[in-house]
Structure 1
Amino acid sequence: MRYLEVTVPEGKRGAVLGLLEDEGIDYVVSDETSGRGYTAVVRFPVPTQAVEPTLDRLDRAGIGDEASVVVIDAETVVSERFDTLRDQYNRGGQTGARTSRQVLRTKADELTPPFPIYAIMLLISAVVATAGLLADSPAVVIGAMVIAPLLGPALAANVGIVTGDERLKWTGFSYQLLGVATVVGASIGIAMLARFAGLEPAGVDIVVVAELEERVSPNLFSLAVALGAGIAGILSLTRGFSEAIVGVMIAAALIPPSAAVGITVAWGMSGAATGAAALVVVNLLSINLAALATLWVGGYRPQGLFEVSPTRRPTYTYAAIFGVGLLVLAAPLAGITLLDFHTTELESAAENEVDAVLAESAYDHLEREDVAVELDGDYPIQSVDRVVVTVSGQEPGTEAGLADRLYAEIEPHSDESLLVEVQYVVSETEGDADGERTTIRTVEGGET
């Protein structure tokens, strides 16, 4: 429930009161004597769902920018006319508390902090996220997401589009772009310091870190977080869900990939940096497209099939820009997804073939330890480089012809040429002073 207070401009008192009477709204009128061009102040309670249509009718009656409107949460209203009005708006089972466009715009604006505070919080988040990625610590990365104030800008831009608020729209877009740039720049600086200070050794393949690898070679499943965050963000704004939790979702889609861009740039890995940057852009587009689509489905759009609305064309335009951009950038992600599927299938087929070969009597003295498919590390779109088969036995040395035999069985399962490498693990058993047995392993390698 909401309680509205409307200042009525001179000459509009009859129109306002007549409209409220027609709607069956229980109201109170007070004379306004400040001499500022108002004749009265009208106060009345309405169901939450009735705020937007009531304000729209007042606007059409000429009570627009000249009036001052205050919307307040109401705990309880005891009135037969209000109960009738609530039943009218709840008819058909629509009992959800849909936020009005006017209140929605205010809430989106409030969630966008002043830029100095926004920049400082993002700098802190960038430092924490970079440290978490370099240390391969999921807990630290999550901490960086919690403190990143990205919810407001992501929602403000799209609320500004559908409500025609140019200031809110450009504030949202500029905050998003400057925020990502801030995180990337700060991450480059922190990663360079870590590299040259010896906290992380230079010259190593830094992307082997699990928290980093999934963000420099993203697949289509990466879109799920961003799309879900955009939808949940708008629902939190329009239906009163927790904004804090949704803010973490949006930060999860933007902060770690942006930090990954900075780290890979600091390590001079252009391919990995391109992959992480593509994920950042895809997630930005996904969040905005999902938010705009959710607003549209939720009814925050131009009304009337043939109505010419100033917000209709911008809404269509931005939806097309987000959608086309997402489709273009999703193509490489689809290639990475297919590679993931192919790698999984190849590894499964290789395990079956290795087991079949080692089951032959000639190899009774060998056992399969592991089968792994290794990629070439050419980010962001990699390809299969080799299949590494690890076998164990009691005798040292390689098994003549085994590598060739395994290559002949595994190679048909791949669409491209690959290398099959066989590693031999020799197990020796020795007794210790307590009579227990300890396994000592040495490794030899062979490949074809």
Structure 2
Amino acid sequence: MLHLRLITPAGQTDNVCRLVRETVGTTHLVVLPGAARDPVGDVVMCDVAREAGNDLLSGLQRLGLETSGSIAVENIELSLSERADRAEAETPGESADAVVWEHLTEETHEESTLSVTYLSFMTLATMIAACGVVLDNAILIVGAMAVGPEFGPLVGVSTAVVRRRPQLALRSVIALLVGFAVAMAVTVGFSLLMDAFGLFTEAQLEGERPQTGFVYAPDWLSFVVAVLAGTAGTLSLTSAKSGALVGVAISVTTIPAAANAAVALSYGDAGQTWGSTQQLLLNLLGITLAGVLTLLTQKLFWGRPLKPLRRFSGSGS
């Protein structure tokens, strides 16, 4: 279930309440006349089944409430209510399949913000991966994959394409380009420093690396894994099953490939630098393509509007 807290101008409250009543899957309607101070208006609260969330939000936006008032949405982790159970039961579809598009857009917008924290995680993940590729340590590689925050901007690009949001696309692409550029540049310096202390050697990079040699040897299997991981990651975001994201993060080789390219560049190894760059680009392409196709499929099959169902009579608040 989703919980909506709305601030409505007094003249719109009746229309908002009517929309809530007529939308299938809604319950627990509460109206607090004159409770809002900034902006001035009434406070309207209700719960709605996740499957019906898009219909209700679209209707509220058509009423101009996002401009004249406010729309706030929260996930309800626990609801002990027979009314809520009935509201979910009468709503077609399953909550796990429902995509709340505005929530997805907002979430990817936040994940695609180019911030100090984002750059720090990108850089730290790449440096950890650099240690992993030089030491041929798969555990460090997995750890670096889990730390890397690059999946957010990648889903941001996919969401922007499907929802036709050029500003979100630009924001996500900038976060990706700047994030990888900064992380790789710092990792080059880190590699040179580690070499100066005798902790990294060119022989380690060039030697047999059965655990991590794949990061500079791209093939079609790498692309297939990226597509599968991108699909799983997108589904985990749209269905609010974020626990699957950890598995997605350790399935793709974006961060390890960037790290290997940086270390190879510090030693002047053009072959590994180019191979790692290809691996990086192949994974970025696969994840983005999978995200776009997954969201388009969800929009086609699970994003159809529900038929309104009037469950109450009257139009007053």
Q: TM-score when scaled to structure 1?
A: 0.60
The farther-off stretch of 38-47 and 194-203 is 194-203
Match of 1:215 in 2: 215
* Higher strand proportion (structure 1 or 2): 1
Task: Give 1:141's aligned amino acid.
Answer: I
Task: Give 1:78's aligned amino acid.
Answer: S
> Which segments of 5 or more consecutive residues in structure 2 lack a partner in the other structure?
305-317
Residue identity (%): 22
Alpha-carbon distance change, 144 to 9 in structure 1, aligned in 2, over 3 angstroms: same
Alpha-carbon distance change, 63 to 213 in structure 1, aligned in 2, over 3 angstroms: same
Match of 2:61 in 1: 59
* Higher helix proportion (structure 1 or 2): 2
Alpha-carbon distance change, 218 to 11 in structure 1, aligned in 2, over 3 angstroms: same
Q: State yes or no: 1:7 paired with 2:7.
A: yes
Give the match's secondary structure for 2:149.
coil
CA–CA separation in structure 2 for the residues paired with 1:147 and 1:20:
42
Alpha-carbon distance change, 68 to 95 in structure 1, aligned in 2, over 3 angstroms: closer
CA–CA separation in structure 2 for the residues paired with 1:90 and 1:239:
16
Task: Give 2:71's aligned amino acid.
Answer: V
Alpha-carbon distance change, 225 to 178 in structure 1, aligned in 2, over 3 angstroms: farther
CA–CA separation in structure 2 for the residues paired with 1:264 and 1:258:
10
Aligned length: 300
5 Å-filtered alignment, 1:125-204, equals: 125-195=125-195, 197-202=197-202
CA–CA separation in structure 2 for the residues paired with 1:104 and 1:201:
44
Match of 2:273 in 1: 273
Give the match's secondary structure for 1:7.
strand
CA–CA separation in structure 2 for the residues paired with 1:230 and 1:101:
18
Q: State yes or no: 1:249 paired with 2:255.
A: no
Question: Which has the bigger relative contact order, CA under 8 A and spacing at least 6?
Answer: 2
CA offsets 1:187-230 (integer angstroms, 9 cap, x no match): 32233344455545557871533345322221111113321221
Give the match's secondary structure for 1:299.
helix
C-alpha displacement of 1:146: 2.3
Give the match's secondary structure for 2:79.
coil
Contact 2:233 2:245 in 1 (8 A): no
Contact 1:45 1:77 in 2 (8 A): no
Match of 1:73 in 2: 75
C-alpha displacement of 1:184: 2.1
Contact 1:149 1:247 in 2 (8 A): no
Report which of the two structures shows the higher radius of gyration computed on alpha carbons.
1
Match of 1:262 in 2: 262
CA–CA separation in structure 2 for the residues paired with 1:54 and 1:205:
56
Contact 1:212 1:260 in 2 (8 A): no
Alpha-carbon distance change, 44 to 89 in structure 1, aligned in 2, over 3 angstroms: same
Contact 2:30 2:46 in 1 (8 A): yes
Alpha-carbon distance change, 199 to 46 in structure 1, aligned in 2, over 3 angstroms: closer
Match of 1:297 in 2: 297
> Which segments of 5 or more consecutive residues in structure 1 lack a partner in the other structure?
305-448
